[in-house]
A and B are shown apart, each in its own frame.
Chain A
Amino acid sequence: MLRVSLREISAALKEGRVSPTELCQRCLSFIKATKFLNAYITIAEDTALKQAEESEERYRRGQILGDLDGIPVAVKDNFNTAGIETTCASNMLKGYIPPYSATVVQKLLDQGAVLLGKTNLDEFAMGSGSTDGIFGPVRNPWSYSRQYREKSVQNSHIENEDSNWLVTGGSSGGSAAAVSSFTCFAALGSDTGGSTRNPAAHCGVVGLKPTYGLISRHGLIPLVNSMDVPGILTRCVDDAAIVLGVLAGHDPKDSTTVQDPFKPFELTSFIDASKLCIGIPKEYHAPGLSSETLALWSKAADLFENAGAKVIEVSLPHTRYSIVCYHVLCTAEVASNMARFDGLEYGHRSSMDKSTEVMYAATRREGFNDVVRGRILSGNYFLLKQNYETYFIKAQKVRRLIANDFVNVFRNGIDVLLTPTTLSDTIPYVEFIKEDNRTRSAQDDIFTQAANMAGLPAITVPTALSEKGLPIGLQFIGRAFQEQQLLTVAKWFENQVKFPMIQLQGMMDHGHTICHHQKSAFFS
């Protein structure tokens, strides 16, 4: 039952085939059974059960709040949740209990959703592996799938089973792993340079980064204010549309949300492909693109063409500089944003108290990991008076060129761009950590951060399994605020490719903590 989509479980709740409490309990036990994935930092068992009970009462009275009533969801641990610890996977915020909830969290709760817990991430969402947080790395559920295991045995990829588990991608790796391993029906991530789409692609789920300004950032602990957006991770495109419908819209508490009214939509299964124009940006064949991803991308282009769509090669000439530009703007905004963590009002505080400045410096030394400190230092370097024009203003100019590249292709009749989401399928943790965080992010965000720089909506759709039996996703980038068109195309594509469901029986044979009666209950 846990493996169905949000839409299906919603129907089951409405028809009384399952009760919110039963559903919540099942998810909670499954979270415990899959604890070794390290997808969750905090499990909010008590409040979740209470929320489920309240939902049950509403179903009993026939007064449900909406499609999400009674649906178990998870939220990345960089969104504030009133009364529930919010850590950003950092020592700096360990033990921090926010006095308020992020607007998006509140909207989920107002719809009756059941918040199961907070998911793991890279410290302050800085990373592309979900390997750099204080609670340890997240394990990709596909490491334990039948699909991957069978291939591994054939190709003897795995000598030592336990050291060869795969990374989820990041930084919303906990959310992606949670949706992929069926412990919740939807999860919130955040997306600054690809942090929702990257782990979604590596975990074989749908990851949506909405248009900048469509969804409130209030209560999302900021990384890069001009690019951050809350992201949505679900098992299918329809589910993403449902969650988007709940979250989108103006928030008086976030002045960067636009005031245009947003109308929730349902997606049609049918599209008139002949009216569709798909752009293939040639610069997205970047160095390092795996031959498998390239082949799938090409096949996807043909699929649209054969269905009658116009498929046109386009050029986004500044693509190669995009990741460099992102690097400068990101570190500069990080340097500014992280200034708020000083030990005085909340979070970690050092015991060194010779002076305020000494306390600040010691607090930040103790509270931040190397990656965060590194980004703060380089951001400060780019913002130095003597470097401001050369690096920061220069990067802001390049950002305009990148945004204009998109304006040009959309102005010339392209509806949606089709690109890879990542260079290749995911890799084992032991391989991943051979490169440092900056190098990894530069490789892993290469196809995703441009949409953040231009503020455009983008979605990754799981497309096929690689030779190794691991998911590969393709990305669609749409026009600003044209989520309906983007998701309609994505859904059509999803229906064509029939991505296989993860087979997790293998996970249960992994020798981790699960009882046999649970095994049969959850995988029947």
Chain B
Amino acid sequence: MRKSGGGRMWSLRFGRSIRGSPSGGASHWGGLSPGSRFTQAAAGGSDGRQEAAGDPRRRGRVYQNPTWQHVEQRPLPEKKVTVEVLDHLERLALVDFRNWEGVQRLEKAIQFADQLHAVNTEGVEPMDSVLEDRCLYLREDNITEGNCTEELLRNARETVEEYFIAPPGNIPLPKLEERDTFLQVSE
């Protein structure tokens, strides 16, 4: 059995018991560190370089209070999406909103994303991949696998000979008013 040896396990018994409040606050800190070198740290700067260089008075401390607050807690303008855009999205995505909650889910997602606009990104290049500074591997253009038609067709619901079968094509999804979608009601 592992870790059965001596020594004490870690527990959370400090000077004062901490009841697990899920969104716990700083009020519990009293008992943790009598000398509270933690309090001063809150005035810290924001430059990673400076701090990483190390200031002997400020070593090894964890902030007493949250260092930032959710933007969400401040009122943000509500985001409304027009029925035209919703209809367009249903056609593009080939999934439907199903109900009012579906639309609200989108509006909340946009509202959440709008926090990004607070960040100054002037002169910053977009990042596609963390491997952008490396050459991606390209193998030799040789056939390495194949002869698995049957295996691949086995997972399709409808096939004829060696073909996947689709219903009639080149017919666009019906217009909003002719489609079975919740958006008609909301219009």
Within 8 A of B (CB), among A261-317: 278-280, 282-283, 285-299, 301-302, 304-305, 310-317
Task: Give the CA-CA distance A236 to B4 in the complex, in Å.
Answer: 13
Contact with A along B122-134 (1 / 0, CB 8 A): 0011111111001
Contacting residues, chain A, for B48 (C-beta < 8 A): 314-317, 405, 408-409, 412
Contact A394 B121 (CB under 8 A): yes
Q: What residues of chain A lie closer than 8 Å to B125, measured between beta carbons?
A: 397, 400
In the complex, whether A355 has a CB less than 8 A from a CB of chain B is: yes
B105 surroundings in chain A (CB, below 8 A): 370, 374, 377-378, 436, 438
A303-340 interface (Cβ within 8 A of B)? 304-305, 310-321, 324-325, 327-328, 331, 335
List chain A residues, Cβ under 8 A from B51: 312-315
Q: B11: which A residues are within 8 A, CB to CB?
A: 464-465
Which chain B residues lie closer than 8 Å to A394 at the CB level? 116-117, 119, 121
- Is the Cβ of A497 less than 8 Å from the Cβ of B93? no
In the complex, what distance in Å separates the CA atom of A456 from the CA atom of B60?
23
Shortest Cβ distance from residue A75 to the other chain B in the assembled complex, whole angstroms:
19
Interface band, chain B: 35 or more
When chains A and B are docked, how far (Å) is the Cα of A396 from the Cα of B119? 12
C-alpha gap A257/B172 in the complex (Å) = 40
A250 close to B (CB within 8 Å): yes
A376 an interface residue at 8 Å Cβ cutoff?
Answer: yes
Contact B20 A468 (CB under 8 A): yes
Measured between beta carbons, the chain A residues less than 8 angstroms from B98 are: 365, 370, 373
Q: Which of A82-105 contact B (CB under 8 A)?
A: 96-97, 99
Report the minimum CB–CB distance from A425 to chain B (whole Å).
7
The answer for the CA separation of A332 and B162 in the assembled complex, in Å, is: 34
Q: Would you list which residues of chain B between 18 and 72 have a CB under 8 Å from chain A?
A: 18-26, 28-29, 32-33, 38, 41, 44-49, 51-54, 58-71
Kindly state whether residue A343 has any CB partner on chain B within 8 Å.
Answer: yes
- Which chain B residues lie closer than 8 Å to A217 at the CB level? none
B186 within 8 A of A: no
Within the assembled complex, what's the spacing in Å between the Cα atoms of A361 and B59? 57
- Across the interface, do A499 and B9 meet the contact criterion of CB distance under 8 Å? yes
Taking CB atoms and an 8 Å cut-off, the chain B residues in 139-173 that contact chain A are 139, 144, 148, 151-152, 154-158, 164, 166-169, 171-173
Q: How large is the interface on A (under 10, 10 to 19, 20 to 34, 35 or more residues)?
A: 35 or more
Cα separation A381 to B114 with both chains bound (whole Å): 13
Residues of A close to B83: CB separation below 8 A: none
Q: How far is the CA of A150 from the CA of B46 in the complex (A)?
A: 44
Q: Does A401 make an interface contact (CB < 8 A)?
A: yes
Within the assembled complex, what's the spacing in Å between the Cα atoms of A304 and B59?
11
The stretch that binds B, out of A57-65, A117-125, A126-134, A344-352, is: A344-352
* Least CB distance, B14 to chain A, in whole angstroms: 7
Enumerate 27 A-B pairs (CB-CB under 8 Å) in ascending A order: A226-B129, A278-B60, A282-B67, A286-B66, A287-B66, A291-B20, A295-B32, A297-B62, A325-B116, A327-B109, A335-B93, A355-B169, A356-B166, A365-B95, A365-B96, A374-B106, A374-B109, A381-B110, A384-B88, A397-B121, A398-B119, A409-B52, A412-B52, A454-B130, A464-B11, A467-B17, A499-B9
8 A-B pairs besides A311-B60, A467-B17 with CB distance below 8 A are: A289-B66, A321-B115, A344-B164, A354-B168, A358-B173, A365-B95, A408-B48, A442-B112
Residues of A whose CB lies within 8 Å of any CB of B are 3-5, 8, 96-97, 99, 212-213, 226, 235-236, 250, 252, 255-259, 278-280, 282-283, 285-299, 301-302, 304-305, 310-321, 324-325, 327-328, 331, 335, 342-347, 349, 353-361, 364-365, 368, 370, 373-374, 376-378, 380-382, 384, 390-391, 393-401, 403, 405, 408-409, 412-414, 423-425, 427, 436, 438, 442, 454-455, 463-468, 480, 497-501
